[in-house]
Structure 1
Amino acid sequence: MRATRLCIRRSLLCGLALLAFALPGAAQQVKRDIDYRLLPQPQPVQTGERIEVIDFFFYACPYCNELAPHLDRWIKRKPADVVFRRMPVVRHDTWVPLAKTYFALEAMGEVERLHMAVYRSYHVDDLYMSQEKVIAEWATKNGLDSEKFMSIYRSDEVKAKVELAKKMTKDYDIQGTPSVVVDGKFLTSSSMTPGVAQVIPVIDGLVRLARQQRIEKSGK
């Protein structure tokens, strides 16, 4: 009888531990050089008193495709003091067309509607968006004015943003995708977690760490 009660107690404790880990707000102690690493040089944030979270992604990356829906759900419940940004990674010239696609969508206010559609086109439909003709046809298929879209795609504004993406890829020491940088100094990636989904609780932990460091710095 005693053994049975002990077994039940252990099962309940185990279940509670698993539940705590599964809850969106559950605290996770993040470990430096295991769950995340520090950037060689901290980067300035553009969000003032709010904590900045940047998703460095590449549409052709299967792990970015896997992480994207988890990030979408996280965005909907992120803390009020957090600002989320996306930045396409540009490591090679062959990565430029997909970066330009993102920036053109951003300029048209269509990222929220079509961000996942780009991933699906690439990873489900095997549509390799490396040529302008293919990209223009994709834009039409997804309800965009392809003429307007391609005009923005070729614009100096988008070219400047691609150059910024190249610079940030280097400045933030992005060695692989997906990588997520919190408050300009903490970097985590799917290569540092047991699975892609586990990036999310690490982001939560880094947000808490960044918040605590800001509080300590302000002396409040």
Structure 2
Amino acid sequence: MNSLLRSAVLLTVTAGLLGAPSAAALPDAPHEGPHTTRPGLPQPLRASATREAVEFFWYDCSHSVKLEAPLSRWAARHQGEVTLRRVPAIWVGSPQERVQTAHARLYYTLERLDAVDRLQERAFRAVHSEDADLTTEDLATAWAARQGLDTAAFRRAYRSSEVDREVAAAPALFARYEVNELPTVIVDGRYRTAPSTAGGVDAMPAELDRLIQQP
């Protein structure tokens, strides 16, 4: 992730803005149409020869949980054509900030260990369905060990400066892309879709199919 993203202004929200953890959208938040082109939106996160879809999610968001399996299948269908990236939610100043920060550290640790494809659904299930507390290094490491990951390697990644930088940068990405609903998927830094604009989580893969056909 480049220095411009890491130095972007952090997103701040009031303590009551986020609402219930399972809510897809912030109260009274404006929403765009799924095909809207935003000239002010930044370019894709990383240079790539393929189209880029960036999902903004949270492990304890029911709508993000519901999208995970369909989104993974969608990405598999478009392998070689679309690169799927993920950014975990951290809304600075919200009641969930501490938990979200811990979940983001878990996600970026899995990413560093190339374990996201195998364990992302399990992480969603552990946090959202099984009410597992994965907000400390010891708890996250114990869970990772049960998933077959090497304990020492997990701890090294969890504590690494690379994961520190990714976690620190996540709130700025939410601010930069003006994300106010979970999950949100942005294509090529120009087009976005979310449950409120797609007509529900179930309709988002079809919307993404249309968005990647846009110039």
TM-score by structure 1 length?
A: 0.75
C-alpha distance 102-79 of structure 1, shift in aligned 2 (>3 A): closer
Match of 2:205 among 187, 200, 209: 200
Higher deviation after alignment, 74-83 or 104-113:
74-83
Contact residue 71 and residue 200 of structure 1 kept, 8 A: yes
Determine if contact 1:58/1:177 at 8 Å carries over to the other structure.
yes
State the distance in 1 between where 2:65 and 2:57 align: 9
Q: 2-side partners of 1:176 and 1:154: how far apart? A: 29
**Aligned residues of 1:36 and 1:189 also touching (Cα < 8 A):** no
Distance 2:167 2:70 in 1: 26
Contact 1:39/1:187 (CA < 8 Å) preserved in 2?
no
For the pair 1:172 / 2:177, whether they are aligned, the reply is yes
Match in the other structure for 1:65? 65
| 1:176 match: secondary structure | coil
The equivalent residue for 1:86 is 86
- Between Structure 1 and Structure 2, how many residues are aligned? 179
Does the CA-based 8 Å contact 1:57-1:88 persist in structure 2? yes
* Separation (CA, whole Å) in 1 of partners of 2:61 and 2:200: 15
- Give 1:122's match in structure 2, choosing from 124, 127, 136: 127
Residues 59, 103 of structure 2: 8 Å contact kept? yes
After superposition, residues 1-220 of structure 1 pair within 5 angstroms as 33-39=32-38, 41-45=40-44, 46-78=46-78, 80-92=80-92, 93-94=97-98, 95-209=100-214, 213=215
- TM-score for both structures, normalised by structure 2: 0.77
171-180 or 70-79: bigger deviation: 70-79
Shift of 1:198: 0.2
Q: Does the Cα contact within 8 Å between 1:47 and 1:83 map onto a contact in 2?
A: no
Shift of 1:173: 0.6
Please say which structure displays the higher CA radius of gyration: 1
Q: CA RMSD, aligned part only?
A: 1.9
CA distance in 2, matches of 1:48, 1:35: 23
Would the aligned equivalents of 1:89 and 1:99 in 2 still touch at CA under 8 Å? yes
C-alpha distance in 1 between matches for 2:90 and 2:152: 25
Match of 2:68, as an amino acid?
A: A
Q: Greater helix percent: which structure?
A: 1
Instruction: After TM superposition, give the deviation of residue 48 of structure 1 in Å.
Output: 4.1
For 1:177, give the aligned amino acid: L
Partner amino acid for 2:33?
I
Kept in 1: contact 2:101–2:167 (CA 8 A): yes
Amino acid at match of 1:43: P
Rounded Cα–Cα distance in structure 2 between residues aligned with 1:101 and 1:152? 10
Gap regions ≥5 residues in structure 1: 1-31, 214-220
What is the letter of the counterpart of residue 139 of structure 2? Answer: V
Q: Which runs of 5+ in 2 are unaligned?
A: 1-30
Q: Give 3-state SS (helix, strand or coil) of 1:208's partner.
A: coil
Is 1:50–1:81's contact at 8 Å kept on the other side of the alignment? yes
Give me the identity figure in percent.
28
Offset, 1:124: 2.0
